[in-house]
């Protein structure tokens, strides 16, 4: 399959329903087999409602981008700066809170284009590094981040539904 042109578009508040839709779809594709249904439904309703996404879009220190192939939303990226970061909140870092690509568009470089956009934004913000958290049991994502030059530097726990999990924190310097 030839993919065609991939466009990475900065989102505004009017894009909240679209982001909520692609976020829910990619989250289900990624985690449904490893997550109890009731935990999944609760998380989707809270974290990926259009209202929640709209509130996040209203924060000037958070930015969303959508990857589009033709009329299809192929994936999305959310980055945080400053106090919007979920952990470190250091002015020299930019967090990738979310980077997901729909399964049908994986393997075509869409994730890499979204990552390039994150680094463009980090350079523009004067950041020294980009960091993220990845679930320790998400082996495909961990392999992707390692291929992209990220290295593990810490971990932190998080609660999802009724279970405690661990995210591996990874970072990569921003090149000039």
Residues 144-176 have pLDDT tens digits of 999 999 999 999 988 777 778 899 999 999 985
Closest CA to 114 of 78, 89, 143, 142: 78
DSSP 141: H
> How many angstroms separate the CA atoms of 60 and 157, rounded?
27
Contact yes or no for 169/156 (Cβ under 8 A): yes
| pLDDT tens for each residue of 79-120 | 999 999 998 888 999 999 999 999 999 999 999 999 999 999
- H/E element, 168: strand 163-173
- Say how many CA atoms lie within 13 Å of 150 toward its Cβ: 25
Domains of the chain (ranges, CATH numbers): 6-124 (3.40.630.30)
């Amino acid at each position: 399959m030839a993919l065609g042109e991939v466009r990475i578009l900065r989102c505004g508040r009017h894009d909240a329903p679209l982001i909520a839709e692609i976020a829910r779809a990619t989250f289900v594709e990624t985690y449904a087999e490893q997550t109890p249904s009731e935990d999944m439904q609760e998380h989707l309703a809270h974290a990926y409602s259009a209202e929640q996404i709209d509130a996040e879009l209203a924060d000037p220190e958070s930015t969303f981008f959508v990857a589009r192939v033709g009329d299809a939303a192929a994936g999305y990226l959310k980055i945080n700066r400053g106090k919007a970061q979920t952990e470190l909140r250091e002015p020299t870092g930019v967090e990738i809170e979310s980077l997901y690509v729909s399964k049908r568009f994986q393997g075509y470089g869409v994730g890499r284009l979204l990552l390039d956009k994150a680094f463009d934004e980090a350079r523009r913000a004067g950041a020294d590094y980009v960091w993220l958290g990845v679930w320790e049991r998400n082996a495909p994502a961990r392999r992707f981040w390692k291929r992209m030059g990220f290295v593990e530097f810490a971990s932190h726990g998080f609660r999802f539904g009724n279970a405690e999990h661990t995210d591996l924190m990874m970072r990569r310097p921003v090149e000039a």
